[in-house]
Amino acid sequence: METKNTGKFGTQKLDDERRVRVLSPGMLVFKRFVRNKLAITGLIILVLMFAFSFLGGIFSPYTQSQVFKHDEEIMKEYATCMMSTELRYTIRDGAELPEAARAQAVLAISKGENSFTYGDKTYTLVKEGEDFYTIGDALEIATGRTLAGKFSITPVEETGFVPTEAFTAAAQAAIEARLMQFEADGTIYTLVNEGKTSAIYHVESIALATKSVYDPADESYQALTESFGFRYASELALTRGESKFTYDGKTYSISGETDDLLISEADKTVCSVSDILVSPNANDIFLSADFKSIIRDAIRNKETKFTYTDETGELVEYRIDRVNTTYTVRTLKESRVITMFEFPTLAHLLGTDSNGMDVMTRLMYGGRISLMVGFVVVFLETFIGIVLGGISGYFGGWVDTAIMRFVDLFNCIPFYPIVMIIGTVMDKMEIDPIKRIFILMAVLGILGWTSIARVVRGQILSLREQDFMVATEATGIRVSRRIFKHLVPNVMPLLIVQATMSLGGIIITEATLSFLGLGVKYPLASWGSIINAATNVHVMTNYWFIWIPAGILIVLTVLGFNFVGDGLRDAFDPKMKR
């Protein structure tokens, strides 16, 4: 629309310069803002940051917690070997020998005793050979005593035992000879001499203790080699130096060297017996006696590697690592492993992090949280500051004094110690990561409103004495409407500028807290928690793509908010040239 002026200067049109003078205040602010190249640069940066954070996650083919894995051949622990220096127990079927009773047995062996007590039970201990003992559940059946040269047997009534003449004669001979055992009527009995009286026990062997290690040739012999009867018969044969023994109607032969013996039945190897314990590192792995024998030979020959042909006919190489008296056998195995610290590729433009997650996707989702925290905290700070600052500035007097002292009290609260305490409490209570974000925003908002309250108070103190406020009072407008309808809108330009400039500071605060481990927790991400990887010197010096992109995004976002804040401050300045 054009307007003509026919004054003394003749006919004139309302040109652009004159049109600006009649624009609304909002349009004037906009015109001033767009003329500021630095502010426009900041606005472009923020648009890019928002698009990257809120739109990037939509188009990304990955999720923020997706872990990437790949197949890789790595040296894995296959078996563990150690010298058998402690007694190993084999318990008869149906019998019990608690762990505490085994400890008592070891103590009795060290003292050279022939019995021990655990609870209300007495156990006998018989040394059958070198590092070979049998443990019996002893039942006292009678006592023998020699008085005035006359020997007598007194049976224990509860057992119902009736001594025979052969038993009495054998017991008397054993007691006089100070023996620990004797045999009568085909049964072995144990003596415990206590001065002139000797207790006679009927013993049933319930366990054997030996340092020998039995390794079945294959899984079909495992139950046999773990049975009490087989081990007892074989241990007796080994102790006596015999080359054969019979068990369960079958004859077994013993061959090989002292340190690595083989027990066979009809030319078929049943198991090996040695002094080196070889255990698989996984429950689904069975190590054959032949394989274990090769390991033992390698250990005794102080070799660091050996080869073995597995069941598929493939020749596999193994490595032996020694730590003190423990030997670990490792071999190359194809395993599914996490793709950690992978350098940038077409699939992962910024590589992967320590958890095998795509760094760029984490940055996208992390930006959402960092920006959301900034805006929510600024809103909380501004809301609380406007309410308390507006009330304080309008009423003045004791109300102003009380609210300002409350502000001073808040300013005395140490920020980081309080946040650290709250963070520790949330860790202890195992707060959900999403709830933790809302708690973090509430804490930051509640602790950061004081400066806005002071600004609002100061502005309202100067505005409330102006003519338009006298008019509102004269017209009878209620107090709440005067403050929030007439005073606060006049302070809003300044609050917008301050809020915009404080957004960058809040994002830095959130990044700092997350960097210190007090903010956003895994599996969620923020730019601060991502840059937390820089606390590891190895990561910081070798994997730039883990932390530098997050640092750049924080810097650009803070600069963008500061540029926009400066532009708004200049645009709202009424003294600025048009």
12-60, pLDDT tens digit by residue? 554 545 544 555 667 777 888 888 898 899 999 999 999 999 998 888 8
Please give the pLDDT value at position 20. Answer: 46
Which one of 306, 337, 368 terminates a domain? 337
Based on the domain organization, do 500 and 385 belong to the same domain?
A: yes
pLDDT higher than threshold 80 for residue 573: no
Query: Is there a domain that residue 11 lies in?
Result: no
Based on the domain organization, do 496 and 367 belong to the same domain?
A: yes
Please give the pLDDT value at position 178. Answer: 79
- Does pTM surpass 0.75? no
Query: Is there a domain that residue 347 lies in?
Result: no
pLDDT higher than threshold 60 for residue 320: yes
Based on the domain organization, do 427 and 550 belong to the same domain?
A: yes
Query: Is there a domain that residue 343 lies in?
Result: no
> Could you check whether the bond before residue 523 is cis, i.e. omega within 30 degrees of 0?
yes
What backbone phi and psi angles, to 5 degrees, belong to 5? Answer: -125, 120
Mean of pLDDT values over 127-150? 82
Query: Is there a domain that residue 342 lies in?
Result: no
Distance CA 82, CA 211 (A): 12
Based on the domain organization, do 143 and 105 belong to the same domain?
A: yes
Domain that holds residue 457: 24-62+357-572
Which residues, including other chains, have CB under 8 Å from residue 462's CB and lie 6 or more apart? none
Based on the domain organization, do 397 and 541 belong to the same domain?
A: yes
State the burial class of residue 568 (Cβ atoms within 10 Å of its Cβ: 0-12, 13-18, 19+): buried
Mean of pLDDT values over 155-166? 80
Query: In the Cβ-directed half-sphere of 323, how many Cα atoms lie within 13 Å?
Result: 3
Which one of 337, 372, 389 terminates a domain? 337
Mean of pLDDT values over 395-413? 87
Query: Is there a domain that residue 532 lies in?
Result: yes
Based on the domain organization, do 275 and 410 belong to the same domain?
A: no
Please give the pLDDT value at position 309. Answer: 86
Please give the pLDDT value at position 13. Answer: 52
Based on the domain organization, do 203 and 325 belong to the same domain?
A: no
Nearest to 330 by CA among 318, 342, 317, 339: 318
pLDDT digits 0-9 by tens, 162-217: 888 888 888 888 888 878 778 887 777 878 777 778 888 777 788 999 988 898 88
Mean of pLDDT values over 343-347? 91
Based on the domain organization, do 453 and 466 belong to the same domain?
A: yes
Please give the pLDDT value at position 360. Answer: 93
pLDDT digits 0-9 by tens, 424-448: 888 888 888 888 888 888 888 888 8
Please give the pLDDT value at position 282. Answer: 80
Based on the domain organization, do 422 and 440 belong to the same domain?
A: yes
Distance CA 3, CA 20 (A): 14
Of residues 95 and 474, the one with the higher pLDDT is 95
Mean of pLDDT values over 85-111? 87
Distance CA 429, CA 244 (A): 66
Torsion of CA 375, 380, 385, 388, to 10 degrees: 160
Based on the domain organization, do 464 and 409 belong to the same domain?
A: yes
pLDDT higher than threshold 50 for residue 284: yes
In our burial notation (b when 16+ CB lie closer than 10 A, e otherwise), range 264-276 reads: eeeeebbbbbbeb
Query: Is there a domain that residue 5 lies in?
Result: no
Query: Is there a domain that residue 103 lies in?
Result: yes
Distance CA 453, CA 387 (A): 8
Give percent of the chain with pLDDT exceeding 70.
93
Segment among 51-60, 87-96, 489-498 with least mean pLDDT: 489-498
- CATH number of the domain to which 404 belongs: 1.10.3720.10
CA distance readout (Å), 194 to 135, 175, 545 = 21, 11, 81
* Domain count within the chain: 3
**SS3 for 76?**
strand
Please give the pLDDT value at position 266. Answer: 84
Please give the pLDDT value at position 97. Answer: 87
Based on the domain organization, do 429 and 332 belong to the same domain?
A: no
Q: In what order do the strands lie in the sheet with 250-257?
A: 213-216, 268-274, 260-265, 250-257, 244-247
Q: Which of 282-286, 372-376, 504-508 has the highest mean pLDDT?
A: 372-376
Question: How many CB atoms within 10 Å of residue 557?
Answer: 28
pLDDT higher than threshold 70 for residue 559: yes
Share the mean pLDDT of the chain. 83
Please give the pLDDT value at position 40. Answer: 92
pLDDT higher than threshold 90 for residue 128: no
- Residue pair 362/349 in contact (Cβ under 8 Å)? The answer is no
Query: Is there a domain that residue 394 lies in?
Result: yes
Based on the domain organization, do 412 and 295 belong to the same domain?
A: no
pLDDT tier at 552 (50, 70, 90 boundaries)? very high
Task: Give the gyration radius of the chain's Cα atoms.
Answer: 45
